[in-house]
Every structure is written in C-alpha cells, then in structure tokens.
Chain A
Amino acid sequence: MSWTDKEIIEKIQDEKTVNYGFNLLMDKYQEKVYWVIRRMVIEHDSADDIAQETFVKVWKNIESFKGDSKLYTWIYRIATNEALNHLRKKKRRFFLPIGDVEHELSSSLDTDIYYSGDQIQLKLQKALLKLPEKQRLVFNMKYFEEMKFKDIAEVMDVSVGSLKAQYHHAVKKIEKFIQED
C-alpha cells in the first residue's frame, strides 16, 4: 500500500502514531534521499552518514513543516544542503579548492568497491564532477531523478528560469568534456 504525503504527515502529527508515521516516511523516501546524496558526494560511507543525518533532522523538524511545499521537496532540501555542506567541509578540512575535492572524488571512483560503472558511466561521472556543485545538483535532479524544474526550484530555492539556464550550461559542459576526453 502506498501512502500519500498527506496521510504520512497526519500519522506523524498524531502522538499515538508518530513513530509509525515516521517509519512510513522513511520507507517512502530513504532510497531517493540516499541516491540524491550519493550522486553528489560519490562515496557510500559519506552518503550513508549524510542520509541518516537528513532523517534525524526531518524527525527533529517535522513539527515545523507547514505544508507550504511538498513533503518530498522539503526533505530533498535538507538532504541537498547536508550534501553541499559536507563537500564544503571537506574542502576546509584539507585546505583544498573545491575543484581539487572534485578531482579527488573523481580519482576515488577508479578504486571504489561500491562503484562498478562501465566506461561510459565512469566518463559521465568524471565529467559531472568537473561542474560547479550546484550545477551538478541541478543536472542530477533533472536527469537522474526526473524531477520537474518547478520542484527543483522549490528544493534549491531559486527561480525556474535560472535553473533552466544552469541545466543548459551543464549539458553543454558535459558534452565538451566527453568530446575532449
């Protein structure tokens, strides 16, 4: 049985069923949240930590969810912010420019036991890692998650127009990287 977001929120808001409601929420979104994060941070262990932290924050703040956005865009916003914070912390911890962090992640794909992409997939991931992180996020949500620009705009709190521009630039850059490689 597939629960709607409205039903899940009602379960969570009822004291007697709050835990049940939260488990339903995790059932519905845990994989999607994990993959959104994983495509950004690349490494499974990092994605695991961030995904768990995301749901802990969802639990802590669910009462403040007003319903003025969709539940899943609200959850995705928490997840993507956590992922971007992780990448920034990594840069600060190692005193690296953000480009070097992406280069390090790109290199790690070659030896990562939790990556088994073929040549084409590997090439695409390495091309994506050359994009600015927000552009990469837009591309991932549009292409892999198949989200509408309107929903991506809710997640990233930017206008639809700027997102379309970001996506267009991302595709062009990937094209260029793949052709050069």
Chain B
Amino acid sequence: MSDDKDIEDGFVGDFLKESSGTGFKVPEDYFEGFQKNVHSKIYQDYTPWWKLPQFKIGVSVLTSLVLVFFVVNEFSENIDQVKVELNKEELLAYFSENIDEISEAEILEVMDEKDFSLPAQQPEQRDSINTEKKKEENNENPPTLDDFTDDEIYEYMLDEGYGSGDWDNL
C-alpha cells in the first residue's frame, strides 16, 4: 500500500465523486471574529481574578448594596428614636393644643389607642369624680324656689341687701 494510494480508486471514491465537501457550515463572519475571541480568552486566563472587570463590577454592586442597607437602617432607627424621645404626656398636650390641624390617623401613627385610655381609678378619685359629675348635672338643671327652704331664701335676701328682714309685716 503506497502513501499515495488514492481513495478515489475504490467504491467509496466513486460514491464520493457524486458530491464534494462535507456539508458543514459556519456562522457568517465567524473566522473574522475568531482571533478576537482567542485574545479575550488569553486575557481572562492571564489576568489575576481580582483584576478582571467582572470582579470589579461585582465588588461595586456589593458595596452599593451594603451602603444602601446601612442608610435605610439608619433612617428607620432615627424614626424610632423620635417616637421614643417624646413621652405620652407631651404628645397628648401637643395634640390637645393643635387638635384642629391633626387628623386621627396622624395621631395613631405615633401613639397606640391604648395610650388614650383612662388609668385605673382610686376610691377618692372616684368620689371626687362623682362630685364633679353632680356639679355638672346641676349646672344643666338650675334649682327653683321650691328647692330652697324659707330660711334659706331669707338669708340669701339679707346677704344681697334686699330689706331689713321684717317681711312678715309687709
């Protein structure tokens, strides 16, 4: 068998004579961009990983995320701090003075509804409250003359300077 024996001398050769080539194709302009791809690959292989653009971009993104996290965290802490520093009495006093300009929703943002409930009452406090309540009721329904005795009426008239008190002989 010589080095130069040609395949075309046999059956396969006759078969292949009916066609030429292999039928394989490449994308358009594939070989034009091939060298650039090889150089990029060499650059990636030879550049230390911390100098690669992908690594630098990754570090930048991570740093930005960490900064954003700290800023947001700090901001939300400041809001909580403001809420804590003002005590309830001060807040209630402020709301009372400016009640016309503040809505219920705004109040409830900084205080719970339970902050507005009355504390548990002592018996003395309860009596004084009841007395106050009675006074309020009396003011709503003023007394008539039938509610006073004659002596009380006479005493009142003397105090107010109405005559000498000898009304039996009028």
Please state if A171 and B12 are interface contacts (CB–CB under 8 Å).
yes
Q: How far is the CB of A44 from chain B (nearest CB, A)?
A: 6
* Interface 1/0 per residue, A24-37 and B, CB below 8 Å: 00110011001100
A150 contacts B34, C-beta separation under 8 Å: no
What separation, in Å, do the CA atoms of A77 and B24 have in the docked complex?
Answer: 22
Contact assessment for B25 and A51 in the assembled complex, using a CB-CB cutoff below 8 Å: no
- Is B53 at the interface (CB under 8 A from chain A)? no
Of the residues A39, A115, A168, contact of B25 by C-beta under 8 Å: A115
Instruction: Name the B residues within 8 Å of A26 (CB-CB).
Output: 34-35, 38
- Our pick among B7, B19, B23 for the contact of A171 (Cβ within 8 Å) is B7
A114 to B26, CA, bound (A): 6
Is there an interface contact between B1 and A164, defined as CB atoms closer than 8 Å? yes
What residues of chain A lie closer than 8 Å to B31, measured between beta carbons?
Answer: 30-31, 34
Residues of B near A44 (CB, < 8 A) are 24-27
Beyond A115-B25, A116-B23, A120-B19, whether A143 also contacts B7 by CB under 8 A is yes
Complex CA–CA separation, A144 to B19 (angstroms): 13
On chain B, the residues within 8 Å of A121 by CB distance are: 19, 21-23
Q: How far is the CB of B76 from chain A (nearest CB, A)?
A: 50
How many of chain A's residues have a CB under 8 angstroms from any CB in B? 42
B51 interface residue, CB < 8 Å from A?
no
Whether B107 is near chain A, meaning CB under 8 Å from some CB there, is no
Which of A60, A120, A148, A175 is B10 in contact with, Cβ under 8 Å? A175
Does A72 sit within 8 A of B, measured CB to CB? no
> Are B22 and A116 in contact, with the CB atoms below 8 A?
no
| Contact, CB under 8 Å: B7 / A120 | no
Question: CA–CA, A44 to B157, complex, Å?
Answer: 123
Q: Does B3 contact A (CB under 8 A)?
A: yes
B23 near A125 with CB under 8 A, answer yes
User: Closest Cβ of chain A: how far from B166's Cβ, in Å?
Assistant: 131
Q: A35-B24, A52-B34 are in contact. List 7 more A-B contacts (CB 8 A).
A: A23-B35, A26-B38, A55-B38, A117-B24, A121-B22, A164-B1, A164-B3
Interfacial residues, chain B to chain A (CB-CB below 8 A) = 1, 3, 7, 10-12, 15-16, 18-19, 21-27, 30-31, 34-35, 37-38, 41-42, 45
14 CB < 8 A contacts A-B: A27-B35, A30-B31, A30-B34, A31-B31, A52-B38, A55-B38, A56-B38, A117-B24, A124-B19, A142-B7, A168-B1, A175-B10, A178-B11, A179-B11
